[in-house]
Amino acid sequence: MKAFLYLFSVIYLFFNTIFLNVYAANIPVNGQDLRPKTVNYFIHYPDNYDPNRLEGYPVLFFLHGKGEKDTGGNANNSDGTLNMSVLNKVLKHGPPKLIENSIWDSSLPLIVVTPQSQTASGGFSTNNFDPLFNHIISNENVNLEKLYLTGLSQGANSTYNLYKDRGNNFAAIIPIAGWFSKTLSDCNLVKDVAVWAFHGDNDNVIGFNSGVAAFNKVVNCAPERPPKFTAYAGADHFSWTRTYDNSMNDAYDINDPSVDATKNLGGDGAYYKQSLYQWLLSFPASRPSTDNSFLKLENIGYGHVYFQYHYQQNNNQSSRVDVLAMGHDKVEFFIKNISGNIDYDRLYFGMMGSYQTKELQIAPYITNVTEQWVKVSIPLNDFGFDVGKLEGGVFNVKLRATSSLGSGEFGIDEIVYTGGETPFIYYGDVYTESALQGYSYTGSGFEVTVRPASGGL
């Protein structure tokens, strides 16, 4: 009987551990099985992860160094399955190592994503990072205002490069022992991103001066959030260990007047011991845009009122967008209640394809709520278009409200089609090009002015 009870206890504890702590591990994901394909990666979910939590979860993207890349294209076995001996290399340093060794702070609400590069340099650029980024924000329960990026060595260089090209995707970045040889050509793109850089002042792989030079490019952009650079006295290239585990031994701030020429710590020693991750979480992204504005709808009348928006390319008002050919399977947008009492149960979103309009109530598709914006994410299949009606392009999108919507004003921004290689911004700032413009007109009841107000996504 004792033997039976012991065996039962072992089995119970085994399955209890598996099912209760599944989110506590680094979970491998085969990017070749996704559509569109991504690099292979690990994902870690915080304790008590709730995939339906309205506010979503912060996400930390960790970029490895050159030594942890996939060398020789062996990331997948001949049958397409993951080659774990290759992917496991990215668990060598940083947050995934802490998670793997069960010394990660389990109270942190962070989703941690650790991709593996297959490039010769071992780095990441928009080419191999964007598909992963788009997949994560489209398929995981994320808080879009709390997206963070960090990397070490080659990964720090990639962090700077993505900061340059996709800065407004992130609230904060942490490059460690890195360099940055490019120019920050658009300071507006990064003006609201917090930066905390780290480097050992005895680094003989990526020289300390290279780290300082990279940081000074950030400083020269005069960002809204003052950047900080923490150096480690006498530390070599592997300065990331003491950074990610928060020990930060022998740390000093190169711009802190309390630190003298001999690098003795003084004054506010607690400043250097500030938790790396709590610092990250203190920064929600402001979602900066090229003109920091959004489309405001106001003076809602009675009866059925509507607003339609046409996509315009090169001044051609009737341009259609073949989102299906682009591989997209979802439309997402953001709505902001500015004043009054707006009942989202009474608001409908519609699309016209081949002169057939379909619309859906938005309330069931609210997937993320931030302090200001409500995110709506609708699978295209849910619209129920007749076969072929959506092929050839979306002609326009429409918002319609019933008489009981309420009164006041609200804003809409970033109407985005996702699921394909690159998100297509039907309306908004973040990925627009100068050749793409929009046209809108009003129906009865809404007064609409194109991009009149500040505070857009």
Are 211 and 327 part of one and the same domain? no
Are 323 and 239 part of one and the same domain? no
Which CATH number belongs to the domain containing residue 255 in this structure?
Answer: 3.40.50.1820
Q: What percent of the chain has pLDDT over 90?
A: 35
Q: What region, left, alpha or beta, does residue 354 occupy, with left being phi > 0 and alpha being psi -120 to 50 degrees?
A: left
Which CATH number belongs to the domain containing residue 340 in this structure?
Answer: 2.60.120
Are 216 and 80 part of one and the same domain? yes
Residue 282: predicted pLDDT:
80
In a domain, residue 449? The reply is yes
Are 257 and 298 part of one and the same domain? no
Residue 66: predicted pLDDT:
93
89, 92, 94, 97 alpha-carbon torsion, rounded to 10°: 100
Write down the pTM of the prediction: 0.61
The answer to whether the beta carbons of residues 272 and 265 sit under 8 Å apart is: yes
Cross-strand partners of 186:
none
In a domain, residue 136? The reply is yes
- Domain of residue 8 covers 2-281
Helix or strand run (H / E) with residue 211: helix 208-220
Task: Decide which of 232, 260, 281 is a domain's last residue.
Answer: 281
Are 276 and 297 part of one and the same domain? no
Phi, psi of 333 (to 5 degrees): -155, 170
The answer to whether the beta carbons of residues 221 and 168 sit under 8 Å apart is: no
Are 163 and 77 part of one and the same domain? yes
In a domain, residue 288? The reply is no
Amino acid symbol at 134: N
Taking the C-alpha atoms of residue 96 and residue 41, their distance in angstroms, rounded to an integer, is 11
In a domain, residue 286? The reply is no
CB contact burial 2-26 (16+ within 10 A = b; e otherwise): eeeeeeeeeeeeeeeeeeeeebbeb
The answer to whether the beta carbons of residues 74 and 83 sit under 8 Å apart is: yes
In a domain, residue 185? The reply is yes
Q: How many CA atoms lie within 13 A of 453 on its CB side?
A: 17
In a domain, residue 287? The reply is no
Taking the C-alpha atoms of residue 312 and residue 290, their distance in angstroms, rounded to an integer, is 18
The answer to whether the beta carbons of residues 23 and 46 sit under 8 Å apart is: yes
The answer to whether the beta carbons of residues 456 and 288 sit under 8 Å apart is: no
Residue 95: predicted pLDDT:
98
Strand ranges in 101-247 using DSSP code E only, listed in sequence order: 111-115, 142-152, 172-176, 194-200, 228-232
Residues 32, 36, 39, 44, CA torsion sign = negative
- How far CA 180 is from CA of 23, 63, 170, 176, in Å, comes to 35, 15, 18, 12
Task: Decide which of 234, 257, 281 is a domain's last residue.
Answer: 281
Are 240 and 335 part of one and the same domain? no
Strand ranges in 192-232 using DSSP code E only, listed in sequence order: 194-200, 228-232
Residue 403: predicted pLDDT:
56
pLDDT digit string, tens, across residues 283-299: 874 443 334 456 666 54
Are 235 and 352 part of one and the same domain? no
In a domain, residue 57? The reply is yes
Cross-strand partners of 447:
298
Residue 431: predicted pLDDT:
32
Residue 29: predicted pLDDT:
96
Q: Which residues of the chain have pLDDT under 50?
A: 1-22, 260-272, 285-292, 299, 301-305, 311-318, 430-457
The residue assigned the tokens 């390319």 is 313
Are 189 and 122 part of one and the same domain? yes
The answer to whether the beta carbons of residues 288 and 192 sit under 8 Å apart is: yes
Taking the C-alpha atoms of residue 199 and residue 68, their distance in angstroms, rounded to an integer, is 20
Taking the C-alpha atoms of residue 207 and residue 131, their distance in angstroms, rounded to an integer, is 32
Are 349 and 402 part of one and the same domain? yes
Residue 75: predicted pLDDT:
85
Are 253 and 316 part of one and the same domain? no
Task: Decide which of 281, 316, 343 is a domain's last residue.
Answer: 281
Taking the C-alpha atoms of residue 166 and residue 148, their distance in angstroms, rounded to an integer, is 12
Give how many domains the chain has, as a whole number: 2
Are 302 and 204 part of one and the same domain? no
228, 231, 232, 233 alpha-carbon torsion, rounded to 10°: -140
In a domain, residue 414? The reply is yes
287, 328, 73, 29 alpha-carbon torsion, rounded to 10°: 70
Q: What region, left, alpha or beta, does residue 115 occupy, with left being phi > 0 and alpha being psi -120 to 50 degrees?
A: beta
